[in-house]
C-alpha cells in the first residue's frame, strides 16, 4: 500500500444543520502543497438482510426526498449515540418491519459515499425470524414486504432496485452463501 496519505493540519466544523454536519480539513500533500477536504460527519449505520425460512428477503419501499422517488431497500438505520452496530440492526429491524431474529451474523461493512462522507454501514444477516409488530418513528412511513432471490434479481435487472447499500449488502450475502 503505497498511496500518499497527506497530513491533516486543521479541522473545523463548517456547517451544522438540522441533520447534516460538515467538516472541512486542511491537508498537507506532497511538497508541502495544501488542499481543502470537505465531508459529512456521520455516526454510521447498519443494514439487515433478513431471511424468512422459505428464503424470501424482507424489503421496504420508502419515499426519499433527496431524490424525489421511492426506493426498494433493505431495513437499515443510523446508529444512535454510543450504540453498537448489531444493536442498531436489531432495533431497526424490529421498529421498521416488526421482525425479531434469533440468529445474527455479521457479513461485513460497506462505505456508501467515500468521496464526501465518513459513513460506514455494517451489514448483518438475520435468520430465525419472528413477527412481533412494527413500531415506526413519528413521521416515518414505509411499506414492508418480501421478495425471493429471483424476484430481487429481476428488480435489480429491471433498474427498480438502485439503492447502493442494498445492492452492496446483497452482494456480500451472495458471496457469503456461495
Contacting range for a second copy; rule: CB under 8 A; set: 6-14, 48-56, 82-90, 124-132 = 6-14
Residues 93/50, Cβ–Cβ less than 8 Å: yes
Residue among 73, 138, 140, 151 flagged as catalytic:
138
Q: Within 24-43, which residues bind a second copy (CB under 8 A)?
A: 24-25, 27, 29, 33, 35-40
138 is catalytic: yes
Our finding on whether 12 is near a second copy (CB under 8 A) is no
Which residues in 85-124 contact a second copy (CB under 8 A)?
108-121
Between residue 48 and residue 87, which ones bind a second copy under the rule CB under 8 A?
61-68, 70-71, 73
Q: Per CB under 8 A, does 136 bind a second copy?
A: no
Contact 104, 86 (CB under 8 A): yes
Using CB under 8 A as the binding rule, whether residue 13 contacts a second copy is answered as no
Distance CA(122)–CA(131), nearest Å, equals 23
49 by DSSP, 3-state: which?
strand
Based on the number of CB atoms within 10 Å of its own CB, is 132 exposed (0-12), middle (13-18) or buried (19 or more)? Answer: exposed
Between CA 41 and CA 4 the distance in angstroms is 23
> According to the binding rule CB under 8 A, does residue 142 interact with a second copy?
yes
**Nearest by Cα to 41 from 82, 77, 12:** 12
> Smaller CB distance to a second copy: residue 25 or 95?
25
85 versus 129: smaller Cβ distance to a second copy: 85
Cell of 166: 442494498
Work out whether 20 is an interface residue with a second copy (CB under 8 A): yes
Alpha-carbon gap, residue 65 to 87, rounded angstroms: 27
Contacts to a second copy from residues 144-173, by CB under 8 A: 153, 156-157, 159, 162-165, 167-168, 170-172
Catalytic residues: 138
Amino acid at each position: 500500500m503505497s498511496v500518499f496519505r497527506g497530513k491533516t493540519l486543521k479541522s473545523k466544523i463548517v456547517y451544522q444543520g438540522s441533520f447534516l454536519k460538515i467538516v472541512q480539513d486542511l491537508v498537507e500533500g506532497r511538497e508541502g502543497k495544501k488542499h481543502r477536504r470537505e465531508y459529512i460527519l456521520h455516526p454510521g449505520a447498519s443494514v439487515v438482510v433478513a431471511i424468512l425460512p422459505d428464503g424470501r428477503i424482507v424489503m421496504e419501499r420508502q419515499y426519499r426526498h433527496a431524490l424525489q422517488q421511492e426506493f426498494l431497500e433493505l431495513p437499515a438505520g443510523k446508529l444512535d449515540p454510543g450504540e453498537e452496530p448489531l444493536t442498531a440492526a436489531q432495533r431497526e429491524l424490529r421498529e421498521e418491519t416488526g421482525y425479531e431474529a434469533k440468529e445474527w451474523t455479521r457479513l461485513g461493512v460497506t462505505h456508501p459515499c467515500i468521496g464526501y462522507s465518513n459513513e460506514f454501514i455494517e451489514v448483518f444477516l438475520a435468520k430465525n425470524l419472528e413477527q412481533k409488530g412494527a413500531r415506526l418513528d413519528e413521521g416515518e412511513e414505509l411499506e414492508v414486504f418480501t421478495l425471493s432471490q429471483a424476484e430481487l434479481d429481476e428488480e435489480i435487472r429491471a433498474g427498480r432496485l438502485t439503492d447502493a447499500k442494498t445492492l452492496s449488502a446483497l452482494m456480500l450475502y451472495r458471496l457469503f452463501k456461495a
